[in-house]
Amino acid sequence: PDKDKCSDRLSGGWWFKTCNEANLNGRKFAYRSTTKALGITWHIKGQDESYYYPYDSVEMKIRDDDYGFCTGAFKS
């Protein structure tokens, strides 16, 4: 649950279990943000600078739970 209202505060509606370890719906900045975790973020553990990196775009990919090639077919 979003107990500390991260989704409201950071303008996102996507993955707030640990309050913005990742925010793929954040704002797109053309320059480095001066406010921590305000834009599109993917926090790299131990590297707080990753909160400020200005990502140009985000792409989410889905794969099978066994990490094999996703064929789109159901397993029987």
CATH topology of domain 1-58: Gamma-fibrinogen Carboxyl Terminal Fragment; domain 2 (4.10.530)
- What are the start-end ranges of the H helices in 6-47? 6-9
Q: Are strands 22-23 and 41-42 parallel, antiparallel or unpaired?
A: antiparallel
pLDDT digits (tens, 9 = 90+) for 40-72: 888 888 888 887 777 778 888 877 677 666 566
Integer Cα distance of 40 and 52 in angstroms = 9
What is the pLDDT confidence band of residue 37, given thresholds at 50, 70 and 90? low
| Backbone φ, ψ for residue 42 (5° rounding) | -140, 95
Domain limits, the chain: 1-58
Q: Please tell me the predicted confidence (pLDDT) of residue 41.
A: 80
